[in-house]
Chains A and B, each alone.
Chain A
Amino acid sequence: MAEGPLRFRTPHIEEIPTTHSRHQPGFAWVTVKKDAADPSKAAFEVAGKKRARTTGLGQTEAQREALSARQQREIERRIRDLNSDNARDVNIPIPKQTSGGSGGAKAGKTSNTKKILSSGKEFKHYLDDEEAELARTGKIDGLERDPDAAVAQPVQRATKMPIARRIQREQSSMSGSPGPATLAHGLTLPFEPGAGTGDEEHDFDAVPRLPTMEEMQALVDAPPLTYNAARSAPGPASAPPARVFCQTCGYWGRFKCLKCGERTCSVECEAVHVADRCLKFYA
């Protein structure tokens, strides 16, 4: 519901089609194309022609986009839940110290520590502060951080972007890695033979030579990456597609529920899914 108006008010929010945007109106089970070799799935391939006819019927482009954005949000929410420390929001009061210590838990000895102890900030607040400072000054704590890391941030943060588009962007910039390449520090790549000094191995063409001491020093001196830049990057575009699993039993999710998009492996599991877990009554 909110997608429509939101989209017009904030044009910089992208609504994105996903790679697998085949959403059917809702009558038939669809095979997942991945492994046609499996004889147990061969029978379902017959549905191909029929599926082609029904594809796209009943859904407009905007509906499809909204659905995929919703799925993407759902995935993000789930990952956030999985990485949360405590499933429930609980407020646990800190017990009073029985002896010693410096008074209650909140009392600090100096004004600095008083402030720290009474701070109710969470990690995301600190992270936002630091990002804001980096974006404003290009420095953190008076030390230059790599501008590449700052540039890499928006790409890293826009997890709403579907895989296919993200990869294109990153390839078009420079590498699959979000962090600054070591080149950014003014190092020379140790590939040209004979360029270095004091290494024994450069007479073999196949063996890359060891870096010089200055290069090592530069590597050691490199400032820490920002939190977002240190995150592991998505795989290359050629990577195999994500695996899907049966919601009911955990085997390969070979069929997709046409109402809600969840995967199941067999008719039995599908029955359980429809009876208990399918979140959409009307497709």
Chain B
Amino acid sequence: MPRQKQSKPPAAGLATKTLILDNGAHTIKAGYSLLNATSPPSLDNCHVIPNTIARSQRDKRTYVGSELDECQDFGELAFKRPVEKGFLVNWESEKAIWEHEFFNAGNTGLQCEAPEETNLILTEALSAPIALQRHCDEMVFEEFGFGNYWRAVAPSLSAYGASPFKGDAERPMGTPMECAIVVDVGYSHTTTTPLFQGKPLHSACRRLEIGGKTLTNQLKDLVSMRQFELRKEDWMANQIKEDVCFVSQNFEQDLERVWKGGSKDPRVVDHSIVVDYVLPDYESIKRGFARPHDPSFNARKRQLGIGGPREDLVVLANERFTVPELVFTPSDIGMQSEGLVGTILQSLEALPKGLWQAFLANVVVVGGTSRLPGFVERLEADLRTKLPEEYAVRVGLPEDPVKHAWTGGARLAQNEEAMKQLVVSKQEYMENGDVWVRRKFAGKLGR
């Protein structure tokens, strides 16, 4: 492929409209941003779409992407996800979802009328296999025909987002944080990515293979084994997790508080932690909900359907905090990796000591699992105890940790100069080929 054209500016020029597509394993975060817009992008422009094709055995219907909102009965719903372990693998189903959301969308506000006049910022996971990157580039240009395109590592977009720390000066649009460690607690796994001026320091990136789905599956297993068969109810287990799970600040103490005691030395269980979770039957109860635990005899009778309609409920006590604890202590399920705090320290170890302070003062936590109550407090406290006193540690949770990478991309897409340096146009791809595009996105060209 001709190498002399490397420094040529994009021939077609940037389009004004940019589609920012944070293609997560659980949900797509997508929305448009306009070049040189004056106001910062609003979170309302970001649509969260389930990145899945779901099949219900009950009403024999297949739900694609956002159609899942219409679903009335989530019982025994089976999911097919195009993104596997964080990497976009199955393009067949991803194409069906994208076409449903962006090309046949109708009035969802996400319709992409002219892809050739749209810039695309698409996210990928860290250390993706080359074959997958090539597939991604080929599909974007050849199948969907976007005009300009940047494939970004998802946490690097977070560096462009608004600072989660109060008192930090507001940066202009499209300027990344100088130094930051982005802790992305996602659906498939948790990654720690040190970023210097928006660029990931690859040799220091680490991945902990515990994510939101690990927690959901663990909760599902525990409840199924101890109380109520949930093994087919992925959706329900996920809702229970989101509704009642929290990260304990003092694990040992909380565990003692909810122990019933032995047969000879019964203890009083602290009912402030125990909750009853009423499971939905998708007829009278559409969505499950939690309520304070009722240990009385009447409650048990109701559970059996005596004196009123029968309701299925599970009593959740230590499940509420032992499940999210896996992020901090993966050895609880026998995984040999270090916990999240250890993983962050491994990232730091790979960096020069002189930089530690700069990174430790900017630990940004993003991803859906970080919305569990107490997550950030626990992370900050644990990180604090593992580090010498002279380091100042700041852990920040953005306004919306799920949409934060999208916001960063949207802010970046308002800055013409920054965008021009990053994107590859379709014409450049056609002229220079896929290897050149990969080298450009890896930062090996054009600097």
Contacts and interface: CB of A to CB of B under 8 A. Distances in A.
B226 A248 contact: yes
A157 interface: no
Given A122-B89, A123-B85, A105 B262 contact: no
Top 8 nearest A-B pairs (CB, nearest first) are A75-B334, A208-B353, A242-B331, A232-B337, A266-B262, A90-B78, A222-B203, A250-B318
Contact of B129 (A116, A129, A268): A129
B338 A234 contact: yes
19 contacts: A75-B334, A85-B213, A87-B217, A94-B96, A100-B104, A101-B104, A105-B92, A110-B143, A116-B91, A122-B89, A130-B129, A141-B435, A179-B350, A182-B204, A199-B354, A231-B209, A249-B226, A250-B322, A267-B263
B206 interface: yes
Interface stretch (B131-139, B239-247, B285-293, B419-427): B131-139
B131 A92 contact: no
A251 B255 CA distance: 6
B203 A251 contact: no
A159 B364 CA distance: 31
Interface in B303-347: 317-319, 322, 329, 331-338, 342-343, 346
Given A86-B81, A251-B255, A126 B129 contact: yes
B231 interface: yes
B415 interface: no
Contact of B443 (A140, A182, A221): A221
A81 B72 CA distance: 28
B138 A232 contact: no
A265 B319 CA distance: 16
Contacts of B85: 83, 123
Contacts of B234: 86-87
Given A94-B53, A227-B129, A231-B206, A79 B334 contact: yes
B205 interface: yes
Interface in A158-211: 159, 163, 166, 175-177, 179-182, 185, 187, 189-191, 199, 201, 206-211
Interface stretch (A4-12, A45-53, A212-220): A212-220
Contact of B202 (A99, A181, A223, A239): A223
A85 B81 contact: yes
Nearest to B438: A141
B387 interface: no
Given A141-B130, A232-B342, A93 B203 contact: no
Given A85-B188, A129-B129, A266-B261, 13 more contacts: A78-B334, A84-B217, A90-B79, A95-B96, A113-B91, A141-B438, A142-B435, A166-B336, A175-B349, A208-B356, A219-B201, A242-B334, A266-B263
A126 B132 CA distance: 8
Given A123-B85, A225-B205, A87 B231 contact: yes
A178 to B, nearest CB: 8
A231 B207 contact: yes
Nearest to A240: B331
Interface centre among A97, A106, A180, A207 (most CB of B within 10 A): A97
Nearest to A84: B217
Interface of B: 25, 53-55, 62, 64, 78-81, 84-85, 87, 89, 91-93, 95-96, 99-100, 103-104, 126-127, 129-132, 135, 138-139, 142-143, 188, 196, 199, 201-209, 211, 213-214, 217-218, 220-222, 225-226, 231-232, 234, 255, 259-263, 265, 317-319, 322, 329, 331-338, 342-343, 346, 349-356, 390, 435, 438-439, 442-444
Nearest to B218: A82
B352 A215 contact: yes
A207 B355 CA distance: 11
Given A90-B80, A231-B207, A123 B352 contact: no
A interface, over-half SS? loop
Contacts of B214: 82-83
Contact of B209 (A83, A106, A225, A235): A83
Contact of A211 (B211, B222, B336, B352): B352
Contacts of A122: 84, 89
Contact of A81 (B93, B95, B217): B217
A32 to B, nearest CB: 15
A130 B130 contact: yes
A252 B95 CA distance: 47
A52 B334 CA distance: 27
Contacts of A60: none
B262 A220 contact: no
A238 interface: no
A98 interface: yes
A112 B138 contact: yes
Nearest to A167: B336
Contact of B221 (A82, A118, A234): A82
A95 B62 CA distance: 7
A210 B100 CA distance: 50
A40 interface: yes
Contacts of B54: 92
A29 interface: no
B89 A100 contact: no
Contact of A92 (B53, B95, B338, B438): B53
A179 B203 contact: yes
B350 A85 contact: no
A88 B255 CA distance: 32
Contacts of A234: 336-338
A119 interface: yes
Contacts of A67: none
Nearest to B105: A100
B201 A220 contact: yes
A236 to B, nearest CB: 9
